[in-house]
Structure formats: C-alpha cells, structure tokens
Amino acid sequence: MRRWAAAAVARAIDDGVLSVERVVINDDVAASLDDDGVATLRRYVDTARDYGVWTPVSAYRSVVAPPAHLEWVDLDDLPWADVPRVLCTPQPAETFGQVLPTEVVDTVAAETDVVVRFGFGIVKGDILTEPDHGVLSFHHGDVRRYRGRPVGVWEYIDGAHEGGVTLQRLTETLDGGAVVAFESVNLSDAETWPDVERRLYAASEGMLSTGLASLRAGESPERIDSDDLGPLYTTPGARETVRFLVKNTVGMARRVLAR
C-alpha cells in the first residue's frame, strides 16, 4: 500500500471504527511490483504513451524524488499483516473501468460491511452494491471543482486558494458517488505543487475514520447531482506543462531565497 493509505487505515483502527478482515489484491499490479528491469521499462513506455509531455514530471516524482506519502509499504510490515489475502484479476467492464470476479465479490460481501478501495482503477459492477455500505474511495480533490488527474496539479496551475479531499461511496457514475466525508484544504500560501499535493494527502489521513464513524452512526452520505460535478481534468498538455514548470520553478526559487 501507499504510505498515506496505510496511515489512513491505521488511524481508523486506532479510533475503533475499523477492523481489517480481508485484503483483495490486483494480481497484475502485485506482479508488476516484483518484476524485472525489462518489465519496469515497458511500464514506463506505457506511461509515456498515456502521459505525453507530462511524462518527465511524473517520472521525476515517481523515481528520482518520490514523496514520503507515496512510498510503498509492504503488507507484511503492517499490524494486520496476517489477515486473509485474495489475489484476483479484474475484468474489463462493458464501457470503461473494470469489474471484480463474482467469487471475489461474494466472498467480500459475505465477510465485510464495507470495502475501501486503494487500487484497481475505476471499479464497477456488483462489488459497488453487494457490501452493506458499498465501496469507499478517496479523491484527492473537491469533485465539485476539480476531478481527474494529477493530484493537485490543476489547483496549482489555476492558483486556487482552496482545495479539498473527498471520500465517496462509489456508484457507476464517474466521481458521482455519495460524499461520506469531505475536508477543505487551504492552498493560499502553497508555493509549489509538492506543497499542494502534500497538504491534500495529509488532510486525508483522518478522513477514513471520520467517514466510517458517520456510517456506523447511521448518517446518510450526501448525494451529488451530476450537474454539480466539476470539470474532468486530465494530464496537462504541452502549454499547461510549460505553465506548470515555470510556476513551480519560481516557487522553488522563492523558497530558497527565503531561507
């Protein structure tokens, strides 16, 4: 798991609102984390096709200077390492996204009250409705204003003074799930994109606990009408990447001069 995700789960356990009963692992992703150099190179080639001119920025953050909150934490090093694990290969959905195998959905629904998604991309199908409280998922952005990727980049490019983190109960509508918890984040004095990203991930650490406590108390998540969803952003193109690089470089220079 990513370090921020492990921290969110740990907080919810400490607060007494979560007990981890089972871990479902994407077999393809698990294999890629243990692959050889050739497979790793192939993965970066695939990323370049998808990210275009943004690829160098993404590669730098992933390989050269990965932030602490995105570091991988081995499941074996977590306090609940002994819970049962299920390896599965999701299948493509009819339109977009992926569905989990029926046997996995049946097992999860029979043994858990709620699923928390930290992987698997866009999840669709029966897994969304079979558990009592569905599937919860983080969006490190305010879905009413900023959807898509990368985390915090568009807020930074636009100079937004405020961002947000959304914990949703997923539906078939992209980013249209009911809001279980929301945290507003001040970005007014964030000089660089890493500042923005770090604040968004830090804000999410206690939100799983808050959201689960709300569900346990019988509170109904806030439904979002599709008309209230913000624009769907994607990876910056050439012009936006240049704007980002200039702004981020100036922000880094200001920080150095202020020391």
Q: Are strands 147-148 and 232-233 parallel, antiparallel or unpaired?
A: parallel
pLDDT of residue 35: 56
Query: DSSP per residue over 222-250, as a string?
Result: BP--GGG---EE-S--HHHHHHHHHHHHH
Yes or no: say if 221 and 170 are a contact pair by the CB < 8 Å rule: no
Average pLDDT of the residues of the chain: 90
Is 3.30.70.1290 the CATH number for 3-258? no
pLDDT of residue 62: 75
For residue 21, name the pLDDT band (cuts at 50, 70, 90). Answer: very high
What distance separates the 2 farthest-apart alpha carbons in the chain?
A: 58
Alpha carbon 90 to its chain centroid, in Å, reads 18
Collapsing DSSP states into helix, strand and coil, what is residue 24? strand
What digits encode the pLDDT tens for the residues 114-149?
A: 999 998 889 999 999 999 999 999 999 999 999 988
* 74-106 pLDDT per residue, tens: 999 999 999 999 999 999 998 889 999 999 999
Mean pLDDT calculated for residue range 221-243: 92
pLDDT category at 48 given cuts 50, 70, 90 is: low
Q: Report the alpha-carbon distance of residue 108 to residue 86 in Å, rounded.
A: 10
Q: What is the arithmetic mean of pLDDT over 154-179?
A: 94
0.95 surpassed by pTM: no
pLDDT for residue 49: 61
DSSP letter at 97? S
| Long-range pairs, 28-35, Cβ under 8 A, ≥24 | 28/89, 29/119, 30/87, 33/72
Of the two residues 41 and 73, the one the predictor is more confident about is 73
